[in-house]
Amino acid sequence: MILKVLGSSSEGNCYFLQAQNETLIIEAGIKFAEVKKALNWQLGNVVGCLISHEHKDHSKYLSDFLKSGITVLALAEVFNSQVLKTRVFCKEIKPMHGYKVGGFKVLAIPVVHDVPCVGFIIEHEKMGKLLFITDTMMLEFRLPPLNHIMLEANYSDPILQYNIDNGIMPVSMRERLLRSHMELKTTAEILRVNDLSKVNEVILLHLSARNSDPEQFRQTIQKSAGKPVYIARNGLCLDLSLTPY
């Protein structure tokens, strides 16, 4: 099972989970031409696309996915936020409900953002259990034993404060981020309180361009979680197989 990152920021989000003959896409915030290219134009292998919430960096290209006959699983709010010609390939999901997408089992879990948003626990026989959480201020959910963790680490409070003090960020940014995105210490705390004994690696998502420091984030989380940590940069490819060799 290969994870490919096409984008992981407010500029646009899209991830592939690729097994031998099936691909699950997470988020539709990257131009569809780029998605097709990254799929080597093998659209027939795509079993579905999950979207976490309606913000455009996650859902902007939803209609292109639908036009290509890709089943999109998302909250009703995501479909209602756009003018769609047809809903044939739209599958509405609800928090705390499970879905089967090809060989993937998907559980939608509630998270706390400034619009309705879900995270996912995704299971596949080749990968085990993966947690995917982005765009949330916190997680009020006790996690089951996991094999892989993809978790937001959007900003660091000291970097944000420096940017506010120096006029790089407006003061109002603090209030907005507090209610919508995950601060580095929150990311670390979630990893601290949950059982990571079966976790192979942690992948940090959706870092703010201005209010984060990727290398510092990677080191901080690696130290506190005691697991290999990767930053989800565009083009990152990782083997998430249970037995990679």
Contacting positions for Zn ion (CB under 5 A): 55, 57, 135
Strand order in the sheet with 229-231: 98-101, 104-110, 118-124, 128-133, 148-152, 201-205, 229-231
Q: How far is the CB of 103 from Zn ion (least distance, A)?
A: 28
CA 207 to chain centre: 11
Residue with Cβ nearer Zn ion (18 or 208):
208
Q: Would you say 22 or 57 has its CB closer to Zn ion?
A: 57
Minimum CB–partner distance for residue 208 and Zn ion (Å): 10
Query: Which tokens hold the place of 13?
Result: 């989000």
4 vs 60, beta carbon nearer Zn ion:
60
- Which single residue brings its beta carbon nearest to Zn ion? 55
Q: Check: CB of residue 159 under 8 Å from CB of residue 213.
A: yes
The encoded tokens of residue 119 equal 């995270």
Shortest gap between Cβ of 129 and Zn ion (angstroms)? Answer: 23
Please state the closest distance from residue 175 (CB atom) to Zn ion, in A: 16
Beta strands in 42-147 (DSSP E): 46-50, 72-74, 90-92, 98-101, 104-110, 118-124, 128-133
Rank residues 47 and 74 by Cβ distance to Zn ion and give the closer one.
74
